[in-house]
Amino acid sequence: MKERRSVNASLFRSFILSLFEDMATKRDYYEILGVDKNVSPEDLKKAYRKMAIKYHPDKNPNDPTAEEKFKEAAEAYDVLNDPQKKARYDQYGHAGMSGAAGGYGAGGPTMDDIFSQFGDVFGDDSPFGSFFRGANGGGGGRQRVRRGSDLRIKLKLNLQEVANGVEKKIKVKRHVTCTTCGGNGSKNGTAVQTCSTCQGTGQTRKVVNTMLGQMVSTSTCPTCNGEGKLVTDRCDTCFGEGRVLQEDVIPIKIPAGVAEGIQLSVGSKGNVPPRGGVAGDLLIVIEEEEDADLKRDGNNVVFDLYVNFVDAAIGMSVEVPTIDGKARITLDPGTQSGKILRLKGKGVKELNGYGRGDELVHVNVWTPKTLSAEERSLLEKLRNSPNFQPKPNKNEKGFFDKMKDFFHG
């Protein structure tokens, strides 16, 4: 069994609680950790751990520069390790965070919040791991709040739902607290006693002398397996698990502008752990269904409009599909193939924003592949007509000019 160690708890606490104070200036999070935007979760964790150990206050006493870098690294990791925060930061930078770093709510972080977040980064075998996991480093332990596993589901959305947002009701099977025993796994909820080995802390501790000084070595209590209590008579409903499997219907509000692969989180709608603790989260991975007519391009949608030669030459009025129904557009006489018409505000709403993309109608003049004898005769008569000769002028834009208009229009 791995041991977990902690050191100088009071000093650690003062530094960690200050991690979430606002900084006067903000450096780029990727620059702080020395990684790029395509960094893997494992490499991100390694980069943060390296920075945290390098600038840790115990290794840099009375060094305000090291303390500041320690804080910066923690805030950068908190944002880049969360897919939603990372996506918002990549799009809007620090201006898009609006206090999102940390994600602890208006009351600020509790000690249990901090222990839970940083323990997984440093690991059980780290000298700093047991402090972040909940050992208080003083005289007496504290039991770690256990957290249940997350649930991950895939949710398919059509283009209309993606563009405008939608509320869904999703059925999930998850472990919930047993109502018979109240979650402690004992018969009638009363057949529980405090573990005499660890006195209810779930941990056994001893002081270890190392080259860095005294450290408190903390290990899981072998008697109660870290739970701090023992069940003397098991519940007949959950058979001592403290939880049962049930199907829940969970309402989920999907914001407008989500995209393929984005992961949303619904707090505390995952599994509860055995015999007490907090539930994990429900993670929703978005999948986009392909639309029959419209293709998504970022926040814009594209529609390919095919018209015949006569309509392009004479002009016409035609309905085109949009996200919200139909819209009528007019083609001017002499419309050329490749022309792009822009329907303002007919695209997808921006995620967590107020703007909306456009619909781009790409005009394609259809050239017949087969002709009857009569059709061929009519066209032959027009072949040499002066108005049928290609005469592009300076107002006629080529492909690259059209692309320039598209991106800057």
pLDDT 10s digits, 312-368: 999 999 999 999 999 999 999 999 999 999 999 999 999 877 899 999 999 999 999
Q: What spatial distance separates the first Cα and last Cα of the chain, rounded to whole Å?
A: 63
pTM to 2 decimal places: 0.59
Residue 200, pLDDT score: 87
Residue 407, pLDDT score: 59
Give, in words, the CATH class of 1-142: mainly alpha
Q: Give domain limits for the chain.
A: 1-142, 295-408
Residues (pLDDT < 50) of the chain are 1-24, 99, 101-116, 118-120, 122-142
Contact 276, 146 (CB under 8 A): yes
Residue 15, pLDDT score: 43
Residue 212, pLDDT score: 62
Residue 108, pLDDT score: 37
Q: What is the CA radius of gyration of the chain?
A: 31
Contact 235, 181 (CB under 8 A): yes
Buried-state track 60-87, b at ≥16 Cβ within 10 A, e below 16: eeeeeebbebbbbbbbbbbbbbbbbbbb
Residue 164, pLDDT score: 93
Residue 397, pLDDT score: 63
Residue 105, pLDDT score: 39
* CATH architecture designation of domain 295-408: Sandwich (2.60)
Residue 213, pLDDT score: 67
